[in-house]
Structure formats: structure tokens, C-alpha cells
Amino acid sequence: MWQGEHTAFAERSGMMETNSIYGDHLPEMKKVMNDIMSRVGDARKAMSERLGMDPVEHCLCRIKSEESMREKCRRRGLPETTESALTKIYDSIGIRIVCAFIDDVYAMVDYLKKFDDVCVAEEKDYIKRAKKNGYRSYHMILKTASGYYVEIQLRTISMDTWAALEHHLKYKKDIKENQDLIADELKRCADELASTDLSMQIIRNMIMGDLT
């Protein structure tokens, strides 16, 4: 369950219980999450002032729910412990940054890489190299100085729409018929959207040419 900025996620989801898989780390995890969210907010302000346009369409964050984290530990063959949740699985804290344009995605990636107190533990560019099903997104795992991992997904609005629909279709229904056709159509849509993203970027470059 993803939230907008500044939401009291842990309290609302009842995750302050003492038997949480996150042990007593939740308050610190929330701080880390809010800190990165507020840095993203700073970048948006600075870039908006420079370019006259907010590079981020929206930004969401979440702490992985207790059930999802336990399920992921089991799926990975890991014990359901705080150590697994915080040091073996890297998306206990998740942030999703959705931009209108591809160049803005990469501008945000560059910005995030410049933090002195955070290092990049892993990077996957599924925009340059889309997954076989057509999924596109830029994934980064950041590790904070305090030792927490944060998964950041950056994508365009089109990529986000596609991922949401594909996720919905994949998980909401046990598809038995037309599986290959559905997969082919989803891939085709992903490629069409990617082509439109490129066209929109070219149009923006033509319009904003003198500002970038």
C-alpha cells in the first residue's frame, strides 16, 4: 500500500506491535523514508525553479507490510527475522518516483546518486533494457549510513500506468485462457507507450530547447 508524502504509515497499519518482523526499527525506518522523500521534494523545487516545470508527477512511499515481508522471506527461503527483513531483503522501505518525461527520470537518478551519506547498492535500468514482458522502470537500491536499504523505483507516467495494470491483471485473476495472447498484447502496449514517451521527450526538447 503506497502513500503520498508525510503520512503516518506505521501507526495506521498497526505495525508498532512488539512482535513486528522489523523489531523496534520502524520509527527509524520511517525517518529514513521521510528523509529521502523530503530530499526528493527539495530536488523538485530546485528543478521547478530552473526549468519552470516540476520534474516529478508524483512520489509515493511505503514500508513493506508485515505480511508481505514475511511472505517474501518464506519465498526466498529465509527465516522470518528482523535480520532477514533489514539485511537480506532490500525493499522494506520503498519509494516510487513518477515523472512525466524520461529525461526527468534520469535527472532524478543522477540527483539521488549524489547524496554523500547514501551509497548505491544496486542499480537496474529496465528502461534501457526492458524486461521480457515489457516492464520498464529504473530501480536503485540505496544503503543509508545508518545501514537501512531503500528501494527506489523511477519511471514515467506511461510506465507507471502499464505496471499498475499489468500487476492488477497478473495478481487479481488466475488467468487460464489466452495467456500467450494477453502476454503479447501487454508487451505490444508497453512498446507503444515507450515509443510515445520518446516522442513526448523529443517534442519537449524542441519546445524547451533554449532552457535545457
Q: Which residues bind ligand GTP (CB under 6 A)?
A: 91, 124, 131, 133, 135, 139, 153, 163, 166-167
Is 122 assigned a catalytic role? no
Q: Residue length, the chain?
A: 212
Query: Where would I find the beta strands (DSSP E) of 44-192?
Result: 56-63, 93-99, 118-125, 138-144, 149-156
Q: Which lies closer to ligand GTP via its Cβ, residue 99 or residue 163?
A: 163
Closest by CA to 189, choosing from 162, 152, 211, is 162
Instruction: State the minimum distance, in angstroms, from the CB of residue 72 to ligand GTP.
Output: 6
Q: Which lies closer to ligand GTP via its Cβ, residue 24 or residue 123?
A: 123
Q: Which lies closer to ligand GTP via its Cβ, residue 24 or residue 185?
A: 185
Instruction: State the minimum distance, in angstroms, from the CB of residue 190 to ligand GTP.
Output: 10
Alpha helix positions (H), 52-156: 66-75, 82-83, 102-113
Closest by CA to 27, choosing from 63, 60, 68, 1, is 63
Strand, coil or helix: what is 59? strand
Instruction: State the minimum distance, in angstroms, from the CB of residue 26 to ligand GTP.
Output: 20
**Which is the catalytic residue, given 123, 151, 166, 192?**
151
Q: Which residues are catalytic?
A: 151
